[in-house]
Amino acid sequence: AQSVTQPDIHITVSEGASLELRCNYSYGATPYLFWYVQSPGQGLQLLLKYFSGDTLVQGIKGFEAEFKRSQSSFNLRKPSVHWSDAAEYFCAVDGDKIIFGKGTRLHILP
Amino acid sequence: KAGVTQTPRYLIKTRGQQVTLSCSPISGHRSVSWYQQTPGQGLQFLFEYFSETQRNKGNFPGRFSGRQFSNSRSEMNVSTLELGDSALYLCASSLASLPDTQYFGPGTRLTVL
């Protein structure tokens, strides 16, 4: 069965520090992978996606993600976070149908 | 280009009533998907419509239904509302059928009393 796991419910980092949000999936083949961000009271905005090809994907707002087939992971990274990055981040996997992770809420310390 | 719009933005209903939510996709997009977001269950896929046909559906009871019109606008209906249907309902549109890049609307906040 298809599934996606975001192990961290909350993450707190200091402004300017690096960030990595984890996403693991279970699927019999390589699915389509997405990261979305949701600010309070807003809909979701696509940060980046992986369909095929280069396993390091660049997205908007300085985010990147790396697809690792051997680890069934698609972790999101940013070298230096800004206070405006505080939001909830969702990993999504589309194999048979799209499934979203439970989300990771990112808090930024000044 | 205008984004995805959803109406109404907020809705309060009582148990047993029914509700219809509307979604207007980005111009040129032919796929519309609906999601339910709750604190407990997170984001869950309801169904996808492409060219007026339901392509895929999630694990929701038959009280949840939808349709898509020839102009790609979509409506979602929930009949016999239950307290547990209180949620943020998100609509997303994409050029092609899923999997494809989706653009989300701001959502309709439904409260069932």
* Inter-residue contact A45 to A35 (CB < 8 Å): no
The CA distances from residue B94 to A99, B26, B48, in Å, are: 16, 8, 10
**pLDDT grade for B11, boundaries at 50, 70 and 90:** very high
Is there a cis peptide before residue A40, judged by omega within 30 degrees of 0? no
> Which pair of structure tokens corresponds to residue B111?
């409260």
Which chain B residue has its CA at the smallest distance from A5's CA?
A: B42
Mean pLDDT of B17-44: 96
Backbone torsions φ then ψ of A63, nearest 5 degrees: -85, 150
Cβ-nearest to A103 among B42, B56, B99: B42
Q: Is the model's pLDDT at A20 over the cut of 80?
A: yes
Mean pLDDT of A80-101: 94
**Residue A41 predicted with pLDDT over 90:** no
Q: What's chain A's average pLDDT?
A: 94
**Interface contact flag, A103 B56, Cβ < 8 Å:** no
Collapsed DSSP state (helix, strand, coil) of residue A83 = helix
Residue B73 to residue A48: CA distance in whole angstroms: 26
CB atoms A100 and B42 under 8 Å: yes
Instruction: Report the DSSP beta bridge partners of residue B109.
Output: B10, B88
pLDDT band at A28 (very low <50, low <70, confident <90, very high): confident
- For range B27-35, the mean pLDDT: 96
Residue count (chain A): 110
**With contacts defined as CB-CB under 8 Å, which chain A residues touch B104?**
36, 43-45
The percentage of chain A sitting over the pLDDT mark of 70, rounded to a whole number, equals 100
Give the residue carrying structure tokens 């051997």: A70
Contact A42 B106 (CB under 8 A): yes
Residues of chain B with Cβ-Cβ distance to A90 below 8 Å are 43
pLDDT at residue A35 greater than cutoff 90? yes
B-chain CB neighbours of A32 within 8 Å are 99
Per-residue pLDDT tens over the stretch B45-83:
999 999 999 999 999 999 999 999 999 999 999 999 999
Helix (H) or strand (E) holding B94, with range, is strand B87-94
Look at residue B59 in the predicted model and tell me its pLDDT: 92
Distance (Å, whole) CA B107 – CA A42: 7
| B42 shares contact with chain A (CB less than 8 Å) | yes
pLDDT above 80: residue A42: no
C-alpha–C-alpha distance, residues A110 and B3, integer Å = 33
Q: Do A43 and B107 touch (CB under 8 A)?
A: yes
Going by pLDDT thresholds of 50, 70 and 90, the confidence category of residue A93 is very high
Better-scored residue on pLDDT, A39 or A76: A76
Cβ of A100 and B98 within 8 Å? no
CB distance from B40 to chain A under 8 Å?
no
Alpha carbon separation from A61 to A45, A47, A49, A80, B52 (Å, rounded): 11, 8, 14, 11, 35
Share of chain B above pLDDT 90, in %: 92
- Residues of A whose CB is below 8 A from B4: 43
**At A69, which amino acid appears?**
R
Please give the average per-residue pLDDT across A24-45, as a whole number.
89
For residue B110, give every residue at least 6 positions away whose Cβ sits within 8 Å of its Cβ, in sequence order, or none.
B11, B13, B19, B21, B78, B85, B86, B87, B88, B89
